[in-house]
């Protein structure tokens, strides 16, 4: 693009400049020629007049004009020879005198009867120097005579050539200067384009942080601005995709790890039973391990299916009273809490309404309470409450158990993540509970937040968005 | 008979390894997390450490750094080359990925113990004594004449005692992969060993599987 512009502009300039120079040189040449012609005519006139005077004087003295012509002309010839001009005199169509023989008269075939004073520019046959011939017959009574003045145009041509050469040399210099400035100018014009091109190459190679400097308010600047917008969009998209890919990879890594343990155990115990001499007691223990590992696999498979298959359109969303939800949860959970002598209390004083699938919400709530029971010390206290916030209804499960470190909280929603590996596995968890809760909350357009202090306890909040259709949620 | 420390947080797998190693006559101590493993290592001398990499609290590599140069076999669910290389680069003796087979476990344990000279040099069962260094078998103190293959077969059975070995496996381990004869060869040699060494009650035929030296 740049090269093309450069060459097109350069060629245009070249044509223009050269045609200008051509015209100028032609004008100069014409000008010089007309000056030279005027000069020749003037010389011819002067010489012709004085020659007539001379001839009259000769005739009065009674001399033969024709015979004395050489004498008469020699003075003029000498004078003119220094200037490179020549003279010739004709009488009745015959040349009776010529100052020098360089002219071949065949070329100067003036008709002797030519009118008085006619001129013609003639290029000599074997000479490169052009000459200007002026011929004129004399006035009566000397009309038989004619004078030819041949003026050399060498000076004119040489000086014109010189001028022309200078002109074209200057033209060439100007060309170079023009080419240089044009090149610089195009460089400046095309610099943003070049930057855009190099930036897009970098982006194509995977360097998504590249941004262009936006200068001014012209078209290029708006292109750069849009380019930056595009680059930012690409970067965020790529980051998003990378995050998703990382999450997937993490999930697969975790999953394969989780899968390997029960598989190792099942295979190992089966092989052991087959190949080792075992007692009845050992047989019981080994088969027990196989069965519990199978149960674990089964549980994991079901929970994974839950996560994968749960869709929003499968939810039976309706209005559910929080108090009702609490009552149902209490029926299931107070037994579990009682096993650890934990005081599980529900605060049902505020009557709030949530729009959602009651069964699924119960799963989330029970899961959170279950986690709270696991985290609590025996004879601890768990408080379940609900309240209204600006953004919507919040259900909170608070325990005073072991709590979590901040970096544990950041991982807690990941599939297969366990805060306390050994204990959670012993309790039969696969580390998928919160993943399911998170999924269910997402389907309700809500979210889970964790607020925990190590050694002091944890607060888990289920945030539900305000129902847009019915602005009131409290009674 | 070696002292082996098993560090693995999964109860079922820890138990599995213990049972397997007990079969071949090793004495095992179990640890379920990194910290208790380090404590055990500080207070006792172990011939071999079977160490899981993913442990709660302190990971396997950290335990390994505090293991006072105890020969170690890393055990992990990770099969990526990087993890293997890291373990071996740190100076681990071997590597075992889950899921593993009994014979693989016992072979690797045996190989490491042999390298570190902790392997038993003789084995006694009733009146029979087998000297692994001199490749000789004694019955009530007198040397029993036997062919090299008979000796090798007995050694394989002793090294993998209490584990049923298939005829094919025995053929591989004693005669090598390129042996052309059929599995009948194994049966014939087993019969000869039973007869010569009075091991009729110890070398058991296991239904559909092969033979097992029970101790």
pLDDT, tens digit, 9 for 90 and up, residues A20-36 = 989 998 998 888 888 88
- How distant is the Cα of B166 from the closest Cα of chain A, in angstroms? 9
CB A192 within 8 A of CB A220: yes
CB contacts of B11 in chain A (<8 Å) are: 426
Low-confidence ranges of chain A (pLDDT < 70): 82, 84, 93, 99-130, 312-313, 419-430, 467-475
Asked if A272 and B19 come within 8 Å (Cβ–Cβ), the reply is yes
- How distant is the Cα of B142 from the closest Cα of chain A, in angstroms? 30
State the best of B12, B14, B83 to mutate against chain A, taking most chain A CBs within 10 Å. Answer: B12
For residues A303 and A473, give the distance between their C-alpha atoms in angstroms, rounded to a whole number: 32
Measured CA angle at B204 (ends B202, B205), to 5 deg: 165
Kindly calculate the radius of gyration of chain B based on its CA atoms and give it in whole angstroms.
Answer: 19
Sign of the dihedral defined by the CA atoms of residues A33, A37, A38, A43, in that order: positive
- How distant is the Cα of A421 from the closest Cα of chain B, in angstroms? 7
User: Cβ of A267 under 8 Å from any chain B Cβ?
Assistant: yes
CB contacts of A261 in chain B (<8 Å) are: 10, 12-13, 77, 98
CB contacts of B52 in chain A (<8 Å) are: none
Asked if A264 and B100 come within 8 Å (Cβ–Cβ), the reply is yes
CB contacts of B9 in chain A (<8 Å) are: 421-422
Asked if A422 and B206 come within 8 Å (Cβ–Cβ), the reply is no
Asked if B99 and A263 come within 8 Å (Cβ–Cβ), the reply is yes
Measured between CA atoms, the residue of chain B closest to residue A265 is B13
Backbone angles phi, psi at B157, to 5 degrees: -65, -40
- Give the per-residue pLDDT at B5: 93
For residues A86 and B113, give the distance between their C-alpha atoms in angstroms, rounded to a whole number: 129
CB contacts of B204 in chain A (<8 Å) are: 277
How is chain A split into domains, by residue range? 2-161, 219-291, 314-463
Nearest residue, CB atoms, A264 vs list B11, B98, B209: B98
For residues B36 and B43, give the distance between their C-alpha atoms in angstroms, rounded to a whole number: 11
Beta strand B94-97 pairing with A353-356: unpaired
CB contacts of B210 in chain A (<8 Å) are: none
Any alpha helices (H) in A119-218, and if so which ranges?
154-204
Q: Report chain B's mean pLDDT, rounded to a whole number.
A: 86
- Give the per-residue pLDDT at A283: 92
Output the CATH code of domain A314-463: 3.30.565.10
Measured CA angle at B133 (ends B127, B138), to 5 deg: 20
pTM of the model: 0.61
What three-state secondary structure class fits A393?
Answer: strand
* Fold held by A2-161: Beta-Lactamase (3.30.450)
What does the buried/exposed string (b/e) look like for B54-82 if buried means 16 or more CB atoms within 10 Å of the residue's CB? Answer: bbbebebbbbbeebeebbbbbbbbbeeee
For residues A402 and A154, give the distance between their C-alpha atoms in angstroms, rounded to a whole number: 116
- How distant is the Cα of B82 from the closest Cα of chain A, in angstroms? 14
pLDDT of chain B along its 215 residues, tens only? 788 999 988 888 999 999 999 988 899 999 988 888 998 888 888 889 999 888 877 888 888 888 888 899 988 776 667 777 787 888 888 888 888 888 888 889 988 888 887 677 788 888 888 888 888 888 888 888 888 889 999 989 988 888 899 988 898 888 887 887 788 888 999 999 898 888 888 888 988 888 999 88
User: Cβ of A349 under 8 Å from any chain B Cβ?
Assistant: no
- Sequence-distant (≥ 6) Cβ neighbours of residue A260 within 8 angstroms: B77, B98, B99
- How distant is the Cα of B23 from the closest Cα of chain A, in angstroms? 8
Angle between helices B184-197 and B148-159 (to 10 degrees): 90
Size of interface A-B (CB pairs under 8 A): 77
CB B26 within 8 A of CB B120: no
State the best of B99, B102, B204 to mutate against chain A, taking most chain A CBs within 10 Å. Answer: B99
Exposure of A25 by Cβ count < 10 A (0-12 exposed, 13-18 middle, 19+ buried)?
middle
- Give the per-residue pLDDT at B14: 92
Asked if A267 and B99 come within 8 Å (Cβ–Cβ), the reply is yes
CB contacts of A292 in chain B (<8 Å) are: 12
Considering only residues 368 to 407 of chain A, which have any Cβ-Cβ distance to chain B shorter than 8 Å?
none
Among residues A302, A317, A303, A301, the alpha carbon closest in space to that of A443 is found at: A317
pLDDT digits (tens, 9 = 90+) for A190-207: 887 788 888 888 888 888
Asked if B164 and A276 come within 8 Å (Cβ–Cβ), the reply is yes
User: Cβ of A274 under 8 Å from any chain B Cβ?
Assistant: yes
State the best of A273, A276, A425 to mutate against chain B, taking most chain B CBs within 10 Å. Answer: A276
- Give the per-residue pLDDT at A291: 93
Asked if B54 and A257 come within 8 Å (Cβ–Cβ), the reply is yes
- Sequence-distant (≥ 6) Cβ neighbours of residue A165 within 8 angstroms: none
Residue-range domains of chain B with CATH: 3-115 (3.40.50.2300), 122-213 (1.10.10.10)
User: Cβ of A256 under 8 Å from any chain B Cβ?
Assistant: yes
Measured between CA atoms, the residue of chain B closest to residue A276 is B163
């Amino acid at each position: 693009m740049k090269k093309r512009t450069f060459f097109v502009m350069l060629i245009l300039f070249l044509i223009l400049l050269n045609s200008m120079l051509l015209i100028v040189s032609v004008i100069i040449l014409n000008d010089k020629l007309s000056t030279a012609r005027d000069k020749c005519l003037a010389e011819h006139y002067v010489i012709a007049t004085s020659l007539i005077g001379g001839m009259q004087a000769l005739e009065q003295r009674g001399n033969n004009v024709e015979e004395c012509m050489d004498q008469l002309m020699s003075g003029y010839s000498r004078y003119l020879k220094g200037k490179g001009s020549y003279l010739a005199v004709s009488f009745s169509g015959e040349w009776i005198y010529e100052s020098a023989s360089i002219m071949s008269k065949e070329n100067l075939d003036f008709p002797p009867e030519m009118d008085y004073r006619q001129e013609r520019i003639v290029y000599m046959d074997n000479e490169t120097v052009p000459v200007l011939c002026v011929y004129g017959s004399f006035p009566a009574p000397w009309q038989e005579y004619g004078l030819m003045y041949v003026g050399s145009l060498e000076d004119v041509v040489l000086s014109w050539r010189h001028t022309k050469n200078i002109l074209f040399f200057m033209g060439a210099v100007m060309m170079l200067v023009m080419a240089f400035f044009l090149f610089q100018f195009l460089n400046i014009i095309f610099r943003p384009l070049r930057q855009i091109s190099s930036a897009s190459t970098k982006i194509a190679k995977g360097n998504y942080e590249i941004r262009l400097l936006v200068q001014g308010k012209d078209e290029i600047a708006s292109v750069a601005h849009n380019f930056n917008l595009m680059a930012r969009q690409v970067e965020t998209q790529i980051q998003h995709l990378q995050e998703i890919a990382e999450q997937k990879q993490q999930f697969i890594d975790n999953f394969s790890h989780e899968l390997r343990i029960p598989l190792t155990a099942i295979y190992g115990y089966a092989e052991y039973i087959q190949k080792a001499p075992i007692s009845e007691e050992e047989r019981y223990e080994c088969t027990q391990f196989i069965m519990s590992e199978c149960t674990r696999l089964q549980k994991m498979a079901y929970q994974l299916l839950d996560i994968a298959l749960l869709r929003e359109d499968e939810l039976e969303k309706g209005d559910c009273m929080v108090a009702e939800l609490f009552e149902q949860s209490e029926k299931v959970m107070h037994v579990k809490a009682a096993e650890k002598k934990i005081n599980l209390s529900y605060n049902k004083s505020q009557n709030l309404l949530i729009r959602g699938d009651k069964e699924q919400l119960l799963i989330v709530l029970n899961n959170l309470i279950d986690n709270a029971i696991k985290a609590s010390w025996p004879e601890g206290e768990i408080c379940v409450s609900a309240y209204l916030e600006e953004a919507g209804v919040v259900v909170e499960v608070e325990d005073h158990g072991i709590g979590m470190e901040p970096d544990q909280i950041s991982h807690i929603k990941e599939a297969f993540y366990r805060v306390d590996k050994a204990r959670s596995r012993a309790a039969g968890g696969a580390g998928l509970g919160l993943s399911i809760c998170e999924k269910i909350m997402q389907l309700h357009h809500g979210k889970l937040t964790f607020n925990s202090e190590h050694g002091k306890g944890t607060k888990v909040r289920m945030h539900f968005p305000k129902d847009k259709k019915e602005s009131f949620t409290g009674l | 008979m070696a002292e082996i420390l098993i560090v693995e947080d999964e109860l079922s797998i820890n138990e599995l390894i213990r049972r397997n190693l007990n079969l071949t006559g090793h004495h095992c101590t179990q640890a379920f997390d990194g910290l208790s493993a380090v404590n055990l290592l500080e207070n006792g001398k172990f011939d071999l450490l079977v160490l899981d990499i993913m442990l709660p609290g302190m990971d396997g590599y950290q335990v390994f750094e505090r293991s006072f140069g105890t020969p170690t076999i890393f055990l992990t669910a990770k099969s990526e080359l990087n993890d293997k290389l890291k373990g071996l680069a740190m100076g681990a003796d071997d590597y075992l990925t889950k899921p593993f087979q009994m014979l693989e476990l016992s072979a690797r344990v045996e190989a490491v113990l042999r390298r570190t000279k902790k392997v038993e040099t003789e084995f006694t069962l009733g009146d029979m004594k087998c000297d692994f260094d001199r490749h000789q078998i004694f019955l009530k103190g007198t040397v029993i004449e036997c062919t090299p293959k008979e000796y090798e077969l007995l050694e394989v059975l002793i090294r993998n005692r209490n584990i049923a070995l298939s005829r094919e496996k025995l053929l591989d381990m004693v005669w090598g992969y390129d042996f052309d004869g059929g599995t009948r060869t194994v049966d014939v040699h087993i019969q000869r060993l039973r007869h010569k060494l009075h091991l009729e009650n110890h070398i058991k035929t296991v239904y559909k599987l092969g033979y097992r030296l029970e101790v």
